[in-house]
A and B are shown apart, each in its own frame.
Chain A
């Protein structure tokens, strides 16, 4: 049942300092960015009553996407639509656009933020895997200072994050990958679009002149209790040529590394099988465009 509105209040700070100061209160008010996760809870009567912090009134947080020192920099309020519209993002970080177009429909894409996707910490988030595969870092600000955490180290369990309640995500920094990197992003959902994923793989692979794997990132959503980087499989693959034997070894490693979840949307057995199939598909992709070509 819907929540009772009188039990909620909203703080609209006029500056970042004011916001960080407000976050020192106990319990700390929860930030609202696009509200596309929070409002669902409100409507379902599951949003805890109390104070919320409106981020839209803070001028410092409303800045456009910038490129600095080979990194793209998103602000706290950067939306999926912002990323999809940005020509440099489209060219240099194409998985972000693929991810953005998978998220909700236009309304959600125009409203929902990358930072909200990160902090909401859903194991099925579609934006996080692409960011993680690109080695993105999260900038966390509080009244006591600013720190940066690698997104790959941000999660430690179901809805467990490195963020303290008094911290705001104030930026996301995404290094632009090597030009020759092979990129792969594929979401398997219940239906085309507007569906939470059952299995998602975001992958990036850089091959040397000798065709050996110089660098590889494999990030899965919806398989483990949080967005998961399959480091053991990456280690198996690094330094090898992605041939049949390497693929076999990688799939075997994935089978032992993943402990898939069972839930309403699917079963562990299905997830494991499809996770392996996607890995195989990615590794046998010969051209960088293949991941994109697969999108229906």
Chain B
């Protein structure tokens, strides 16, 4: 293994008292009682309210904006048209900007006017009374149509010119597919996934106040520091002119990583009128701003040899990324296939098609969720054609080092998370036996089983820092920059501190996500938060621990290696000469010169190893071929995220992720009317999310904790992996039940009936 960095220089925990236990969230009570404050709840004296007017047209030049009637609405403070903010740009990860207000809206729902008023009602009324004259321009919704017209750039993390795809290449896939002769069998299929929306329970929201030359912004966000940077740029201000306070965010899922147009609006008006301004989006606005998972069309061509080894993968992915190049980094789905299985020849093209729909942003497992739907069904199809068990086929193609970077894995020799997940999952699910179960039942229903696998990064890394103050009564304050977007990271970090300090979790208060009070930390995205901030917290706590032990050694007149910290006490174990000696940690600190102990921790770099997390899901379904209804009877999820810090939070991630995956599989799709280009279902009645009744009758959750020492807590990411394998596992199970391949998501009742009819017609 590689050279350990500063944070890994702490030895791995041997036995743990708090880490690994199922610990209820430290804020559960507050949340359940409704005491937790979310941004939309923030009420300040003399607060004004802002909102956007959005384009009614899909693509149009604005001829005129008449605000006379709107300005006459009592309580209206300001109406801002596009030219007033024309120099302000919201930027994506690669620095591509879009206007806050568009004078040529390029998708229905794009922001065109901003209104600020005394009350929310007045702002609504004024917005409704603005008269806009549009001159319609042509639009394109279908990404394939845009691709054919040459209107695309490369998707992913490298910018390209117009008309140039982003290409990933290793080996020579084309040659391997054409010159393999009889020994290489080739499989080809096109898969389509739907555009989706995060549907966080709390909409995007910001409240800004401007006092003494400085903004304070409360934001529902995954990353306070990212909001601060982006907002400072839009305002032309110093980052130190802005304090961002992350309230409890009501979900994020990738949609709240940085500042939004509304954040700028709130900050702008708060300075202009020297009073606080609240800017909260409505539910229907959540479907156009900001964005979500882009639609994808993926064509896979895979070659496999007679021994069942993958020889080559060719992939072409077309993604609808909106009218600007903004967000094109989310228009790709090839990552998973470049790294999950051993395959010497890979050629993948990412095409980010310019379409008149909202630009995309990250959404839980961006790219991977779409990519898995294609690849993991293809694996199933190939296994069947080769007469191999799909679990065995996957096992056969597990790489022994990272196929992309060629680095060794950060796990002990001979151990691989995916292999162990597949084995544990097959056992839990009783795969071998169920493979032979009858599929057709007396009432006409059919049952089937399916499996799918995933890989994800989630190794985390710098920058992340933590500060811990242990007080004279052995309570502690932990300061961390990380946002808790619902994963329970605040609890996990408190557990890590408690483990080191030998005090109870309840004695640690966590202050997080505040740019004034906590140190710089990356946003909570990419499933990296625990693996980034966890080691920083452990180091801060270890720093305090060392100081407490040194005080104890003096007080107990012994050497430091004789002291243990347990349940709030420093303990020197009994020896033959001396009895056990014990003293409260509180007493040690209260008698110390500083009267408190302060520790600092900073996340160091990772070793040069491949840092990967894994997971599998096995599902059993019952299909009613008369109505197209599918019931998920059982779902087994097994993940390798290294050391599990909180078993309860681990289970919650698996349940939440798989449920979201079921939404992707069966229900979720933003539907556009191709003629008008308008979104037809911008509400939660017509865009359906799974409810508790759509969850499997039985969840079985398990973990394999393959030892991982790339960081000092031994943990890696889990936020995104559980959403990835669900849709392909379900699709494979549906195929097993009825013999129809699922080429398009979501698997609606109608689509299933259609593909059954197609299968029947073939026979």
Contacts and interface: CB of A to CB of B under 8 A. Distances in A.
Contacts of A8: none
A21 interface: no
B408 interface: no
Contacts of B690: 191
B57 to A, nearest CB: 17
A273 B694 contact: no
A274 B626 contact: yes
A241 interface: no
B626 A281 contact: yes
B41 interface: no
Interface in A40-88: 40, 44-45
A32 interface: no
Contacts of A27: none
Given A1-B128, A188-B629, A270 B688 contact: no
A274 B124 contact: no
A190 B691 CA distance: 11
A270 B749 contact: yes
Interface string A233-266: 0000000000000000000000000000000111
Contacts of A40: 685
A271 to B, nearest CB: 9
Interface range on chain B (Cβ under 8 Å from partner): 20 to 34
B750 A191 contact: no
A199 B629 CA distance: 12
A195 to B, nearest CB: 6
A173 interface: no
A191 B128 contact: no
Contacts of A273: 753, 757
Given A1-B128, A4-B124, A188 B688 contact: no
B250 interface: no
A264 B686 contact: yes
Contact of B667 (A4, A190, A265): A190
A1 B694 contact: no
A270 B124 contact: no
A196 B684 CA distance: 12
B136 interface: no
Interface residues of A, number: 30
B628 interface: yes
Contact of A198 (B443, B691, B749, B754): B749
B681 interface: yes
A190 B628 contact: no
Contacts of B127: 1
A158 interface: no
B748 interface: yes
Interface in B409-446: 443-444
In this complex, which of A5, A44, A191, A274 has the most chain B Cβ atoms within 10 angstroms of its Cβ?
Answer: A191
A178 to B, nearest CB: 26
Interface string B731-751: 000000000000000001110
A120 interface: no
B125 A270 contact: no
A2 B124 contact: yes
Contact of A193 (B124, B667, B691, B754): B691
B211 interface: no
B666 interface: yes
Interface of A: 1-2, 4-5, 40, 44-45, 188, 190-196, 198-199, 264-267, 270, 273-274, 277-278, 280-281, 294, 296
15 contacts: A1-B124, A1-B127, A1-B128, A4-B121, A4-B125, A44-B683, A45-B128, A190-B749, A199-B627, A264-B680, A265-B686, A266-B749, A270-B750, A270-B754, A296-B631
